[in-house]
């Protein structure tokens, strides 16, 4: 029953331990790009893409490079984990930015400052380090990264749809803008707490 384990992994990453609403990682793009559903979808795509690739590469590095053998000697380089993960993620975002600018200028402009900000998106680094912490294999870690990205996308799409509705709502002036967005995010996080215990 190997597939059951993957279902658990997926459910856990998307719903139970949702990166935004349960682990509270990646709040900056969550609030920043959630004003329009269109940009939210674009950002979600970018994050899923970056997270999957980052998790795959960092898992490989964690498994083969941070613990490598040289003849008889073994080197334990786990202390380099965060350093090298950040390096890989930063380089990856750079490459994606360059490629995206060429392939899809519209998406590039829509994402704007948030694409380079994925570099410092703690959800990406979080998924990489969590995958390493759980000692996932490269394949499993890649899946974990993908589903973490899907969880981020789910939270972002839900939230941006809510915010589009909120724009038409009659909100008292002191609550307008970011204030009501934060309150909504809090209620959404409480909803996701309801998934705890699912797996």
Partner 1 sequence: MNTLEAAVLLMGVTGGILGVVIALAARFFRVAHDPRVELLIELLPNANCGGCGKAGCADLARAIVAGEAKPSDCPVSSREAIASMSSLLGIDPGVAEKKVAVVRCNGDALHTKVAVNYNGVSDCASAALVGGGPKSCNYGCLGLSSCARACPFGAIEMLKNLAVVHPELCVGCGKCVSVCPRGLITLVPASAQVHVYCNSPARAAVKRKNCASPCLGCRKCERQSPDSFEVVNNLARVKYSSGTLPTPELVEAIGCPTKCLRSVSGHLEQERKEAHE
What are the residues binding partner 1 (CB under 8 A)? Answer: 61, 65-66, 68, 70, 73, 75-77, 79-80, 83-84, 87-88, 91, 94-95, 98-99, 101-103, 105, 172-174
- Tell me how far, at minimum, the Cβ of 61 lies from partner 1, in Å: 8
Q: Extract the tokens encoding 85.
A: 């993960």
CA 95 to chain CA centroid, nearest Å: 18
- Tell me how far, at minimum, the Cβ of 175 lies from partner 1, in Å: 10
The answer to whether 33 touches 155, Cβ cutoff 8 Å, is: no
d(CA 31, CA 44): 13
2 versus 73: smaller Cβ distance to partner 1: 73
Pairing between β-strand 69-70 and β-strand 73-74 as defined by DSSP bridges:
antiparallel
d(CA 35, CA 161): 8
78 versus 196: smaller Cβ distance to partner 1: 78
- Tell me how far, at minimum, the Cβ of 176 lies from partner 1, in Å: 8
- Tell me how far, at minimum, the Cβ of 70 lies from partner 1, in Å: 6
């Amino acid at each position: 029953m190997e597939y059951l384990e993957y279902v658990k992994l997926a459910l856990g990453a998307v719903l139970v331990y949702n990166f935004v609403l349960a682990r509270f990682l990646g709040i900056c793009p969550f609030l920043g790009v959630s004003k329009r559903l269109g940009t939210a979808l674009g950002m979600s795509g970018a994050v899923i893409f970056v997270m999957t690739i980052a998790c795959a590469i960092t898992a490989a590095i964690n498994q083969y490079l941070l613990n490598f053998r040289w003849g008889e000697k073994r080197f334990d380089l786990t202390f380099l984990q965060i350093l090298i993960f950040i390096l890989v993620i930063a380089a990856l975002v750079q490459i994606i930015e360059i490629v995206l600018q060429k392939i899809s200028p519209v998406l590039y402009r829509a994402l704007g400052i948030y694409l380079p900000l994925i570099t410092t998106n703690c959800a990406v680094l979080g998924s990489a380090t969590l995958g390493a912490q759980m000692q996932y294999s490269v394949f499993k870690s890649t899946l974990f990264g993908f589903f973490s990205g899907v969880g981020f996308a789910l939270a972002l799409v839900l939230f941006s749809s809510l915010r589009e509705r909120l724009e038409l709502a009659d909100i008292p002036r002191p609550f307008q803008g970011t204030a009501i967005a934060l309150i909504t995010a809090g209620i959404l996080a409480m909803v996701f707490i309801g998934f705890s215990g699912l797996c």
